[in-house]
Structure 1
Amino acid sequence: MVATYEEAVNWIHSRLRLGIKPGLKRMEYMMEKLDHPERKLKTIHIGGTNGKGSTVTFLRNILQQSGKRVGTFTSPYFERFNERISINGEPIADSHLVELVNIIIPLSEEMEESEWGGPSEFEVITAMSFYYFSHVNPVDIVIYEVGLGGRLDSTNIIQPLVSAITNIGKDHTQFLGESFEEIAFEKAGIIKEHVPVISCVKQPAAIKVIKEKANEQQADFYLYGVDFDTDKEENLQSGEKFTFISGEYKESYEISMVGRHQIENASLALKIIELLNDKYGFHIDHKAVQLGLKYAYWPGRMEQISSVPLIYLDGAHNPEGVKTLIRTIEDRWSNKKVKIMVAALKDKDLKPMLSGFERVAEQLILTTFDFPRVASPQELATFISIDNVIEMIDWKSALANMISEVKEDEVLVITGSLYFISQVKPYLYSVLRN
């Protein structure tokens, strides 16, 4: 048993040694022992490759503006572990985390002797969240973000009101498969019988797989660009303005997150709200939707840190994320010189990620940081063919120098691993204050 917050987090992290353990048997065992807290919750399930966190944030803010008490389960955390389990944007208290770990430890010890073995870190946190939202700090509804894939993900024991798949990209291919069809099959595993599913997936092969799974489960399927859509109106200084279209409904909205991809994520949240109102009688009014979208904020995703000099953080940690970042750069800063600093993990698909920066970067700074599996600047450089590349081991001194050199016609974008971005943000604030 643990007595302090530090001991609780250390015990949770100790489960990392077990790695990723796909399958639901351990979750089902823990839920049975805890008297099925997951069955006491109203939930929404969000899967996909990129955009899950932003979609969760848009949705949570809308529901919160309507007066709901909204739980969220997300990963990874950005600044503090507690963020993963939150209510109305407020992370779980340290004392509650200790309480939950002490509930899970005996179950974990029992399971060590079972045929499935002990639970992984993610399974532990998922089980904790179910118990927390149903017994310790009850909520009206919980939005669950899929951790990895969907079909065998620990969150996939819920029976949600609505399921959503943001998009399909080639990430975690060692677990999910190399083709879009294989990845879509895993993502579509969250589709439940008679539960409506919404998606912004683009690839025809992936759409076909998801449609077939929806038909098999007799689940209504709504596809972005077909059953609902958006028209971009304009780039705002800090955000986007767009029109949402669904059937006869057409309405203009503003968001404070940057990029066309955020318009798609917002439209996914809007379609979910439409279904909650029409199918489940939620009565979420237009004002709550407007305010929820406008004030939604998700750290580390095209987040403006400074206007003078102009600095953005973006956790583009896979090829699809980089493509989205590049589109945003071309859309908003065609008249500026763009400097990009990047650090990435070795297990990512680095060639399409890094080569993608070549057409938009006036200068590319490759660096590293203190984290397992991180690539060195030299390793990153093997995937780059342009000349204006700088390799820096010490990202802090490199960043401090760059900040002082960013001119009025330039923008500095710091990107790559979310773990890197989470270390950069507080450091940036400390440098900019001085």
Structure 2
Amino acid sequence: MGNLTGAVQTAPLRSYEDAVEWINGLIPFGIRPGLVRIQALLERLGNPERRLKFVHVAGTNGKGSTCAFLTEVLHRSGYDVGTFTSPYITKFTNRFQYNGEDISEDTLLKLANRLHPLVQEIAATELGSPTMFEVSAALAILYYASECVPDVVVWETGLGGRLDVTNVIHPVISIITNIGMDHTDILGDTIAEIASEKAGIIKPGVPVVSAVTQPEAIQVLKDAAERNRSTLYLAGDHFSYERTGGHAESQTFHFSGPFRQMDIEISLLGEHQCANAACAMMSLEVLHYYMAFVIEDEHIKQGFLATKWAGRLEQISSSPRIVLDGAHNPEGAESLAKSLPNIFQYNKLNLMMGMLANKHHEAYLKHILPIVDTLILTEPDFRRKMDVKALGDIVEQLREKHAKQTLQIIIEPDWKNALELLKSRTEAEDLGVVSGTLYLIADVRSNLLGLSDSEKGW
């Protein structure tokens, strides 16, 4: 205890900025899959995670939207809800929410000062320093277990599942939204391998809900559920949804589950959001029917319609019309390419995009290029950005087969200049779209909304 008391007296971190700088300063320790360091950290805190109820959400795309649906409906149903998500769009505190509000800067500083000496202690052992994501997850658990104590915590995985830091908890329900080719350098380069990593969040006896579609991924989930004696609710087998209509403001779908059917309207756009919402709805049904959560129909309908999620097919400006979408992998690009002509009417489509250097950009571009008239390539303001000329070379290789003959390509490394080009080229009847990594979306969104510079990141 002397160590902790001394730490409180010296308070190594003096301000919120110090705390964020310290946590982000752990980024060089990288992504180190495994739970030993987070377990060591939580043991030193008395395992606060054991006092909380978690809904654990994994998947390649749609995790954030699914978390947002669950948070909104549960909160409207009278529950206090913690929500831990990543990456964030405007501010580091976005990651740690309680009833839709960010953690306060003062609370974050206080908790960071509690963690600081423990992190140094672990760093001095053979385990090495906890990573930025490990410290963030520990801070979230500490916040929920000791500061606000929600009824339920909606808990999004960072990367994968099995060895993801968030897997240190034991949830009341596990959700796997979908599976696609992302982070293949860490998770494996086949759908079955990636599915196996995501299935790592399945725990003995804990029900699982999933909207996974690929037969090989479904088999992996079924095997994992059987091994763990967990009930698996699978889209297509145990519940289904059918999109029934939509326009630029909202869309509707019909949900059929094992207990009942319901027509649901959501403000989030794109058919993939119907799949995410159906997954969230099935999860709410499990919480209601098996775990005695009191969730009324009116709160379900209000909650789904009220759910917003920044940077996902979000129209941010009407003159010129500009839509933001953080599609950054092939599956995201496929959804975006389907959704844009379905939702919006336009003459020309002008697309500005910037990427990180670790993604499958060829597959992404094959989906999106056929519908683009002007492509503005740029670079996100982030250390792992993809060089814009290298991205341009990939576009040139794909151009003949996958793009319109009239496609115009503009290369502008400075994203602010690229955004001005997008705005000036998007006429009244055209549509401007900004897509790619969320690090770019975060900056563009802050710029267009006149917010202060975003503290984007993981």
- TM-score normalised to structure 1 length: 0.97
Alpha-carbon distance in structure 2 between the residues aligned to 1:338 and 1:414: 11
Where do 1:288-327 residues align within 5 Å? 288-327=299-338
* AA aligned opposite 1:73: F
Give 2:295's aligned residue.
Answer: 284
More displaced 10-residue stretch of structure 1: 289-298 or 322-331: 322-331
Instruction: State the identity %.
Output: 41
Aligned to 2:55: 44
State the match for 2:184 in structure 1.
173
Query: Using the alignment, how far apart are the partners of 2:160 and 2:419 within structure 1?
Result: 35
**Pair 1:409 & 2:409 matched:** no
Larger mean CA deviation between 382-391 and 331-340 belongs to 331-340
Instruction: For structure 1, list consecutive stretches of 5 or more residues without a partner in the other structure.
Output: none
Uncovered stretches (5+) of structure 2, i.e. residues with no partner: 1-11, 452-458
Match of 1:212 in 2: 223
Distance 2:250 2:268 in 1: 5
Determine the C-alpha separation between the residues in 1 that align with 2:227 and 2:422. Answer: 54
Aligned length: 431
CA distance in 1, matches of 2:262, 2:37: 45
Question: Where does residue 227 of structure 1 map in the other structure?
Answer: 238
Note the C-alpha offset of 1:338: 1.3
Task: Output the CA distance in 1 between the equivalents of 2:96 and 2:139.
Answer: 9
Root-mean-square deviation (CA, aligned residues, Å) is 1.4
- Deviations for 1:20-39, whole angstroms, at most 9, x for unmatched residues? 11111111111111111100
Deviations 1:333-383 (A, max 9, x none): 465421111000111111111232211101111111321121232111111
Residue number in structure 2 paired with 1:395: 415
Please say if residues 61 and 177 of structure 2, whose CA atoms lie closer than 8 Å, have aligned partners that are also in contact.
yes
Q: Which residue of 1 aligns with 2:150?
A: 139
Q: How does 1:245-284 map to 2 (within 5 A)?
A: 245-247=256-258, 249-284=260-295
| Residue 51 (structure 1) shift | 0.3
Aligned to 1:371: 382
**Counterpart-to-counterpart distance in 2, 1:339 and 1:314:** 13
Normalising by the residue count of structure 2, what TM-score does the alignment of the two structures yield? 0.92
Alignment-mate amino acid for residue 92 of structure 1: I
Return the alpha-carbon distance in structure 2 between the equivalents of residues 145 and 333 of structure 1. Answer: 31
Q: Which segment drifts farther, 354-363 or 185-194? A: 354-363
The one-letter amino acid of 1:232's match is R
Specify which of 432, 439, 446 is matched with residue 426 of structure 1.
446
- Greater shift after overlay, 227-236 or 212-221? 227-236
Q: Please report how far the alpha carbon of residue 391 of structure 1 lies from its aligned counterpart in structure 2 after TM superposition.
A: 1.0
Does the 8 Å CA contact 1:166/1:265 hold for their aligned counterparts?
A: yes
Q: Quick one: which amino acid aligns to residue 413 of structure 2? A: I
**DSSP-derived class of the 2:86 partner:** coil
Alignment partners' CA distance in 1, 2:142 and 2:418? 45
Sort the Cα spacing of 1:334 and 1:194 in 2 relative to 1 into closer, same or farther, 3 A. Answer: same
- What is the aligned partner in structure 1 of residue 7 from structure 2? none
CA drift at 1:88: 1.2
Structure 2 distance, partners of 1:11, 1:252, is: 47
What amino acid does structure 1 have at the position aligned with 2:162?
Answer: R
CA distance in 2, matches of 1:392, 1:18: 32
Q: 1:89 aligns with which of 83, 100, 117?
A: 100
Letter in 1 for 2:29: L
| Match of residue 117 from structure 1 | 128
Q: Do 2:59 and 2:176's aligned partners in 1 also have CA atoms closer than 8 Å?
A: yes
Write the distance in 2 (CA, Å) between the matches of 1:95 and 1:248: 45
Q: Which runs of 4+ in 1 moved over 3 A?
A: 333-336
Cα deviation digits, residues 377-433 of structure 1 (max 9, x gap): 2111111114421111233233224324422331111000100000001212349xx
Distance in 2 (alpha carbons) for counterparts of 1:399 and 1:28? 44
Residues 329 and 360, structure 1, Cα contact 8 Å, conserved in 2: no
Letter in 2 for 1:414: V
How far residue 248 of structure 1 moved from its aligned partner, in angstroms, is 5.5
Task: Check conservation: 1:38, 1:158, Cα contact below 8 A.
Answer: yes
**Matching residue within 86, 90, 107 for 1:79:** 90
Q: Are the structure 2 counterparts of residues 147 and 339 from structure 1 closer, same or farther at C-alpha, using a change threshold of 3 Å?
A: same
